[in-house]
Amino acid sequence: MAPIFGFFGKVDTKVWYSLILLLLLVTHICVGAHVFKILETGEKAQNITELNVYNRDFLTHYLTVEGSLRPDNKTYDRLTYDQLHVVMKDLYYMRCFKTDNIETDANMWNFWTSFDFVSTIVSTIGYGGMAPRTETGKLFVIIYTIPGMLLMMSYLNIFSTCILIVLRQVSFQIIKTIRKLSNLKRMPDVVEQMIVLWVSLLFLCSYLLVMATLMHLQNKENDSFPQSLYFYVITMTTVGFGDITLIDHSYLALIRVLFVFCVGLVLVSLVFNAIRELAAAYQRRLVEVSQRIAMKTLAVAKQHRLKHSNAIDSGEEKLMGVD
């Protein structure tokens, strides 16, 4: 790559491309978060939010032991099953808050919750814990999604290139060590690809365990280690059930989206790519073996025909000698 002119001429154009792409992605996410905040906290969305606050308070304070007192010193009325079913159905349909963050006001539409929602769009995770309720918000999702996904895929491509370099170096050193210990000049392609796959799996599993441990240590009371590991596996595979989500009301949300999740997504894609390369190596190996078997079969058949032809010729010569 040719360097860019001027004072920054020593910086490679690939670095500039990466920085510009990162800036575009961050700008796209921040603009989208701000737009969703405006659209979903409008008049229609505000009515929905108030209804959700009512439903939230209803679920957290109303459904207590029968006969207990409300804040106004009046007893709670009995709730029929049909009434509860209607409330739960409306609450599920309106779901403008995180299911694991029901008791706080942090689940309403603000910049960081909108940022969290936008990140699930561009990364294709799609938790489903939050969704636009206004017609304008839904229309904006349609327009916003494709450019965001294209920017994210380009950004992940840069991430994958960097991680792939490290992964290949580790795999190369392992292969080199095995060759040296085994006195082999070259290892079979299938074995090399198998080593690459195991290294990729080791990187992915280590990353998942580290992130799950950090999540567990940050909130031991609510996030057990199996639950934290479950969350990261569901997230990195872009399944995104939405039963567990994270909301950081600070710049940590930006770090989580641009680095933590991206590294995990890249590692998952590299594992699948290693599996594909291993399958291709097995296919090439099968083709080589098939070709060798075919060549040996043809050689044996040729020898058999030659022997049969020689036997016929010798028999004819004997008959001619008798005559």
Residue whose structure tokens are 């441990």: 213
Burial of 317 (0-12, 13-18, 19+ CB in 10 A): exposed
Mutual orientation of helices 261-322 and 225-236 as an angle, nearest 10°?
A: 60
Residue whose structure tokens are 């491309």: 17
Q: Mean pLDDT check: name the lowest of 5-19, 79-93, 95-109.
A: 95-109
Nearest by Cα to 229 from 219, 215, 241, 239: 215
Distance (Å, rounded) from C-alpha 163 to C-alpha 151?
A: 19
Burial of 62 (0-12, 13-18, 19+ CB in 10 A): middle
- pLDDT tens-digit series, residues 158-191: 878 888 888 889 999 998 898 888 887 788 888 8
Q: Mean pLDDT check: name the lowest of 122-136, 162-176, 178-192, 235-249.
A: 235-249
pTM, rounded to two decimals: 0.67
Distance (Å, rounded) from C-alpha 27 to C-alpha 19?
A: 12
Distance (Å, rounded) from C-alpha 6 to C-alpha 210?
A: 43
Q: Mean pLDDT check: name the lowest of 32-36, 129-133, 197-201, 286-290.
A: 129-133
Q: What pLDDT does residue 118 have?
A: 87
Distance (Å, rounded) from C-alpha 152 to C-alpha 56?
A: 35
Q: What pLDDT does residue 141 have?
A: 92
Q: What pLDDT does residue 140 have?
A: 93
Residue 208 pLDDT grade (very low, low, confident, very high; cuts 50, 70, 90): very high
Q: Mean pLDDT check: name the lowest of 87-91, 160-164, 290-294.
A: 87-91
Best-predicted range by mean pLDDT (147-161, 199-213, 294-308): 199-213
Q: Which residue has the higher pLDDT, 105 or 281?
A: 281
Q: What pLDDT does residue 101 have?
A: 42
Describe the chain by its helix, strand, coil percentages, rounded to 5. Answer: 75, 0, 25
Contact of 233 with 307, CB cutoff 8 Å? no
Is residue 22 scored above 80 in pLDDT?
A: yes
- The token pair at 27 is 């700008």
Q: Could you tell me the CA-to-CA distances from 247 to 108, 131, 150, 214, 231 in Å, in that order?
A: 11, 15, 24, 15, 13
